[in-house]
Each structure stands twice: as structure tokens, then as C-alpha cells.
């Protein structure tokens, strides 16, 4: 059973306890991280691990060289092997050209202005009347407010 019927006091004290437990957990995690780091360093220093990493790097270098050779030579298929090059196309609207072709109304209807760029161009706060502000609740806390005791 709770020691008080005040849900705000209970919420505040639960947060205090939670922070204490979190500090203990952080200490344990730090100890574990130190042990893991030591084991990783020991593992990485082993000769067999170093040798395997060197072999892997040599294979990767050979792979890169062979792909570059095939690309330079124009080879895209040889025997049952294919050189498959994946690409990604990105497009960026050129504002001046878009404006010239589709006009001011369409340009304004589908454009956005980055706050940082606008502030750099005209100064911070110079366009606040041109902005919308959206306030979202990101969390709720309960705080302890000390009350002054009046002297009699």
C-alpha cells in the first residue's frame, strides 16, 4: 500500500528511486564494458586473429582490383560470372528552373524553406510572423517545489 495518497508525490519518489537504480545499473554496465574491452583487446592481439585479418584484407584488395580491372576493360559478363553494378539515382529540384517553368503559385505551393537557411539569409527572428509553430508534448515530469515556511 502506498505511503501517501498524493499521486504526484508518489510519481516524484518513484522517479528518484528509478534514477538510483539506473545509476547502479550504469555502474554494472561500465564494469561489463571494461571486461568486454579487455577481452576484445586480448582477442585482437592473438597471432591467429591478426593473420586471418591480413588474409581477409588481401582477399578484399584482390576483389577490388579485379572489379576495377573488369570495369576498365568493359567486361560485364565472362563465362558464368556477371558484373552487376547497383546504382541509386537521386533527384534535386533546381529552384530557379522550377519557378521559371511552373510559375510562382506552383513553386510556393510545393516549396519548403529550411529555418536555418532562412535565418542565415534574413536574420534570426526576422520572419517569426511567417512561421507556424507546432508544440508537441515530449514528456511529463513531476518536480518538487519547496515551500517557504513563514516565521511566526
Q: Is the pLDDT of residue 93 over 60?
A: yes
- The tens digit of pLDDT for each residue in 41-82 reads 999 999 999 999 999 999 999 999 999 999 999 999 999 999
Instruction: List C-alpha distances in Å: 43 to 32, 49, 52.
Output: 16, 7, 12
Average pLDDT along the chain? 91
- As a whole number of angstroms, the longest Cα–Cα distance in the chain is 100
- pLDDT at residue 122, rounded to an integer: 92
- pLDDT at residue 138, rounded to an integer: 87
- pLDDT at residue 2, rounded to an integer: 59
- The tens digit of pLDDT for each residue in 21-46 reads 999 999 999 999 999 999 999 999 99
Q: How far apart are the first and last CA of the chain?
A: 36
Q: Is the pLDDT of residue 1 over 70?
A: no
By the 8 A CB rule, do 99 and 107 touch? yes
70 class by beta-carbon count within 10 Å (0-12 exposed, 13-18 middle, 19+ buried): middle
Amino acid at each position: 500500500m502506498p505511503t501517501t495518497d498524493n499521486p504526484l508525490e508518489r510519481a516524484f519518489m518513484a522517479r528518484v528511486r528509478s534514477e538510483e537504480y539506473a545509476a547502479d545499473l550504469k555502474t554494472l554496465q561500465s564494469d561489463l564494458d571494461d571486461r568486454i574491452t579487455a577481452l576484445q583487446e586480448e582477442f585482437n592481439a592473438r597471432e591467429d586473429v591478426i593473420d586471418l585479418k591480413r588474409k581477409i584484407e588481401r582477399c578484399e584488395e584482390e576483389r577490388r582490383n579485379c572489379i576495377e580491372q573488369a570495369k576498365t576493360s568493359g567486361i560485364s559478363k565472362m563465362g558464368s560470372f556477371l558484373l552487376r553494378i547497383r546504382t541509386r539515382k537521386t533527384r534535386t529540384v533546381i529552384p530557379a528552373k522550377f519557378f521559371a517553368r511552373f510559375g510562382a503559385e506552383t513553386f510556393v505551393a510545393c516549396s519548403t524553406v529550411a529555418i536555418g537557411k532562412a535565418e542565415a539569409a534574413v536574420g534570426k527572428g526576422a520572419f517569426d510572423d511567417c512561421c507556424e509553430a507546432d508544440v508537441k508534448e515530449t514528456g511529463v515530469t513531476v518536480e518538487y517545489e519547496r515551500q517557504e515556511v513563514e516565521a511566526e
